[in-house]
Amino acid sequence: MNKRKIFIFLLLTFFLSWILALLFYLSGENWNISPLSQITGIIYMFMPLLSAIIVQRFIYKGEVKESLGISFKFNKWFLIAYLLPFFISICVSLFSIMMPDVSLSLDLSGFYERYRNIFSEEQIQTMKLQFEKYRYFILIMVLIQSLIAGLTINALFAFGEETGWRGFLFNELKNLRFWESSFLIGFIWGLWHAPIIAMGHNYPQHPKIGILMMILFCILYSPIFNYIRIKTKSVIGPSLLHGSLNATAGFTIMFLKGGNDLTIGITGIAGFISLIIIDLFLLLDKEIKNKKIKEILGG
144-155 residue pLDDT tens: 888 899 999 999
DSSP 207: H
59-114 residue pLDDT tens: 999 999 999 999 999 999 999 999 999 999 999 999 999 999 999 988 888 877 87
Q: Provide mean pLDDT across the span 248-273.
A: 94
The residue count for the chain: 299
Contact criterion met (CB below 8 Å) for 162 and 81:
no
118-129 residue pLDDT tens: 667 787 788 778
Query: Taking the mean position of all CA atoms in its chain, how far away is CA 82?
Result: 13
DSSP bridge pairs for 292 = 177
What are the residues whose beta carbons fall under 8 Å from the beta carbon of 181, sequence distance 6 or more?
170, 173, 174, 226, 293
Residues above pLDDT 70, as percent of the chain: 99
pTM for the structure as a whole: 0.94
Q: How many domains does the chain have?
A: 1
Side chain identity at residue 1, one-letter code: M
pLDDT classification of 299: cutoffs 50, 70, 90? low
Percent helix, percent strand, percent coil in the chain, to nearest 5 = 70, 5, 25
Parent domain of 111: 3-298
Average pLDDT, the chain: 94
Per-residue pLDDT at 294 exceeds 60: yes
